[in-house]
Structure 1
Amino acid sequence: MSVTAGWREAFSALSDHHKKVGGLHLRRLFAEDPRRGERFAREAVGIYLDYSKNRVTDETLRLLLQLAKESGLRARIDAMFCGEKINLTEKRAVLHVALRAPKEASIVVDGENVVPKVHAVLDKMADFSRRVRSGVWQGHSGRRIRNVINIGIGGSDLGPVMAYEALKHYSDHTMTFRFISNVDGSDFVEAVRDLDPAETLFVVSSKTFTTLET
C-alpha cells in the first residue's frame, strides 16, 4: 500500500480520536445513548456482533471508514474476489474465497473460472468423508476407521481445529480426532501412542507440501 497524504491525515485523525475516547467509561456512553446496545450491533447469517461494550462512538466508525477508504480497502477486497494476484510475495492469487464461494459464483484466475474445480474437489471430500464415517471406506487390513489425525501447521492446522471445536458437539462421538502441528517427533508419538494403526487415518494438510512437518 502506498502511503498518501490522505492516508496520513486519516490515520492521524484516528490516533487523536483514540486519545480522546481512551478515558471514556462505558457507563457514560450508555447513559448518553440509551439505544447504544441496539445501534452498535449487527446480525447476519446467524452471527451476532455486539461492539457496544467497547469505547466506540459514531465518530470512531466514521474515522475508521475514512482510513479504510484512504487505504484503498474496497479495491483490494474486489481484487481478491476477482482472483487478482494480490499475494505479491508468491505472485499468486489468494483463493480461500473460492473455497467458500457458491457453485454459481465466478472467480476467474488466468482466464479460467476456478469455482467449478473447487466444488468438484469439495464434492469428492464430502463423499470420502461419508464413506469413512459409514465404514464403507476401510483401512488396509479391512477394519473400520475409528481415529483421524490431521498433520499440518499454521492455517493447515488452525482451520481444521477450529472446525472440529465448533462442530464436535454435533458428533456421534464414534471417532477420535487429533491434530499434529509440531515438527518435534515427540508430538507425533504422544498423539498416536494409544491408537491402533489399523484403525487410524492420517490426513496431511498443506498448500505446498514444503513445510517441515509434511
Structure 2
Amino acid sequence: MVSWKDFDSLSSYETLQSLKNHVDVKKELSGENGAERVRKYNCEMAAGLNYNYASKEVDEVVLKALQELSDEAQLTEKFEELYNGAIINTGENRLVLHHLARNQLGKDVVVDGVNKREFYVSQQKKAADFANKVHNGEIVNENGEPFTTVVQIGIGGSDLGPRALYIALENWAKANQTFKMEARFISNVDPDDAAAVLNATDLAHALFIVVSKSGTTLETLTNEQFVKDALIQAGLDPSKHMLAVTSETSPLAKSPDYLTAVFMDDYIGGRYSSVSAVGGMVLSLAFGPEVFAQILEGMAKEDQLATNKNILENPDLLDALIGVYERNVQGYPVTAVLPYSQALARFPAHLQQCDMESNGKSVNRFGQPIHYVTGPVIFGEPGTNGQHSFYQLLHQGTDIISLQFVGFKNSQIGKDVNIENSTSQQKLNANVAAQIVAFACGKEDTNQNKNFEGGRPSSIIIGEQLTPAALGALLAHFENKIMFQGFVWNLNSFDQEGVQLGKVLAKKVLSGNSDGALKVYADLLNI
C-alpha cells in the first residue's frame, strides 16, 4: 500500500535542500571532462529518442538523492496504482486511465461491469471504421462527393493536443503518402476564429467534429451553432456533415444531428485525451487509423519505461525529479520548452495546459495547504525563431530559466538545400548545439553588456526523425513527467477547479444577474 505524504515531510526533502548549488554546470561542461559528461548523462527513450541531461545541475550525489526521493515517495508504485485503476483523482473521486487507452500496462479495469480497456479499444475501432469509410468513399456528402477536410470544434484539451499532433505530423504524412484530409480547428468562442476557418473551408466537402464530453460546453456549443448556420446558409444539411465525440450520457450521444457519435468517459481528462476519440477521430481522418495506432504504440513503449524503479533507466521519472530539484531546491520558477522542429510549433502550448492545469495547485490531494512551490510556468516556441525573440532574457536576464530542448537529426520531408557547405537541417541543429553550450558555459567579456554568466541548465531530447511513434513517445514522456512531479508534490494532478470559477461568473454575466465590480466590467464590455 502506498503512502501519500507532503514533499516537505520526507527525509529526502531535507537531503535535497542541502544540495543547493551543488553542481556548477558551467565548470562541468567547460572542463576537461565536459565531452565525457555529455556522453555519460544520457537515458534511452522509446522510438529511438534519447534524453540527454548533461547540461543539468546534477552529478552522482544529486542523482543518488533523487533516487532516494523516488523510493521514499513510492513514485513508480503510485504509477502502478494509477494504471491498475486506483482512484487517483481525489477531487472528483475518479480513476485516471489515459495510460490504459494505449492498450498497455497493468490489469483490466472494470467499472460498473464495463471493461474499460475493451471500451477504449472499441471506440478506437469505431473511429477507425468511420475514417476508413470516409477515405474509401462509403461516406460521402449529399452529392456523392468525397469529403476533403475535417474541422474539429472543441476547446482546451479537445483542441490543444489534437491540433499539436496534427501539425506535428502533417508534413510527415505528406512525405510518406499517408495524408488523407486536411484538418482545421475551431476553439475560441471569439466569432472571428470560426469565421476565419469557415472562410478558408469548402463547406460542401467538409466534416465537422463536435467535441464535448458533457455536451454542454458553452464555447463549443456556440461554435457548433456558428458552423450549423454557415452550413444552412450554404444550402447544406448540417446532419450530413457533423459527428460528435462525447460521453454516452451526453445529449449529443444519440442525437440525429450527427452522422455518428464516438464516446469518451470521465476517466481520461481533457488534457490527456489525445489518446482517446478526442484525438483519434480527427487524426484518423487526417492521416489514417494506422498512423494514429503508431502514435499510441510510441506512447505505450514509453509508458513501459516509466515503470522502471531505477531513475537512470526511466527517462520520464528522471526528467521529473530533475525538474523537482530545479523548482524546489534551485528555485527556478519557469521552464521553457524549445523544440528545434517547426512541426512541433504548437507542442509547447499543449504542454503548457498539460503541466500548468495539472500541477498549478497550492493544496495537496486532501485539500490541505502546502508550504512549498509546485508546478512551474511553462512556455516555449520553436527554434530558431525563439532565438530572435525571447532568448535574450534566457541568456542574460536576472532569472535563471530551466530549458528543455527537443531536436531531430533529420527533417520530415527528406528534402533540403545546401548553402555555404551546410544544409538547412545542419544549420538548425548547429544552432541547438550552440545554444546548449552557450547557456551552460557562457562567455567572459570585459564589456559587461557582452558578458554571459552561463550556468543556465538545459536538457535535450534527440531523435532521428519526428515520426508518429517518436511523437507518441515524446508526448508520453512529458505526460509521465508531469504525473511523477504531481506525486512528489502530493497533488491531485487530474482535476482543474481553477478553470471553473471564471465559467460560473461568465454565466452570471450572461444571465444579467451580475452586480458590483463584475457588472461594471460587463458594462464596459457592452454585454
TM-score class normalised by the smaller sequence: 0.7 to 0.9
Contact persistence 1:83–1:93 (CA under 8 A):
yes
What is the CA distance between 1:96 and its match in structure 2? Answer: 0.6
Shift in Å at residue 33 of structure 1? 6.2
Q: Percent identity?
A: 31
Stretches of structure 1 that go unaligned for 5 or more consecutive residues are: none
Give 1:14-53 correspondences, 5 Å limit: 14-21=16-23, 23-25=24-26, 27-28=28-29, 31-32=32-33, 34-46=35-47, 47-53=49-55
Aligned equivalents of 1:83, 1:198: Cα separation in 2: 44
| CA deviation map 1:72-94 (0-9, x unaligned) | 32232111111112111221111
CA 1:67–1:207 in 2, change beyond 3 Å: closer, same or farther?
A: farther
Tell me by how many angstroms 1:36 deviates. Answer: 2.2
Partner SS for 2:207: strand
C-alpha deviations, 1:140-196, integer Å up to 9, x for none? Answer: 443211111112222221221232123212135563211122122221111111212
Look up the SS of the partner of 1:213 in the other structure.
helix
1:70 matched to 2:72? The reply is: yes
1:97 is aligned, of 87, 96, 99, to 99
- Confirm or deny: 8 A CA contact 2:25 2:55 kept in the other structure: no
Residue 3 of structure 1 corresponds to 6
Shift of 1:42: 1.7
**2:139 alignment counterpart:** 137
Question: CA separation of 1:179/1:4 partners in 2, compared to 1, >3 Å: closer, same or farther?
Answer: closer
The one-letter code sitting in structure 1 at the alignment partner of 2:97 is: L
CA contact (8 A) 1:6 1:70 kept: no
**Residues 22-69 of structure 1, C-alpha deviations (whole Å, 9 max, x = no match):** x43165476346532232112232222111222222222222222233
Superposed, 1:1-214 pairs within 5 Å as 1-3=4-6, 7=10, 9-21=11-23, 23-25=24-26, 27-28=28-29, 31-32=32-33, 34-46=35-47, 47-102=49-104, 106-110=107-111, 112-168=114-170, 169-171=172-174, 172=177, 175-214=181-220
User: In 1, are the aligned partners of 2:8 and 2:14 still within 8 Å (CA)?
Assistant: no
| SS of residue matched to 1:18 | coil
Distance 1:37 1:4 in 2: 31
TM-score by length of 1: 0.84
Unmatched runs of 5 consecutive residues or more in structure 2: 221-527
User: What's the C-alpha RMSD, in Å, of the aligned pairs?
Assistant: 2.6
Q: What displacement does 1:71 show?
A: 2.7
Q: 1:55 to 1:105 in 2, by over 3 A?
A: closer
- Distance (Å, rounded) in 2 between the aligned partners of 1:185 and 1:149: 15
Aligned equivalents of 1:87 and 1:187: distance in 2? 33
* C-alpha spacing 1:105/1:11, structure 2 compared with 1 (3 Å): closer
Distance in 2, Cα, partners of 1:92 & 1:6: 26
The answer (yes or no) to whether the contact 1:152–1:205 under 8 Å persists in 2 is yes
The 1-side partners of 2:69 and 2:103 are apart by 28
Q: 1:185 to 1:52 in 2, by over 3 A?
A: same
**SS of residue matched to 2:5:** coil
Q: Quick one: distance in 1 between partners of 2:182 and 2:33?
A: 52
TM-score, normalised to structure 2, is 0.37
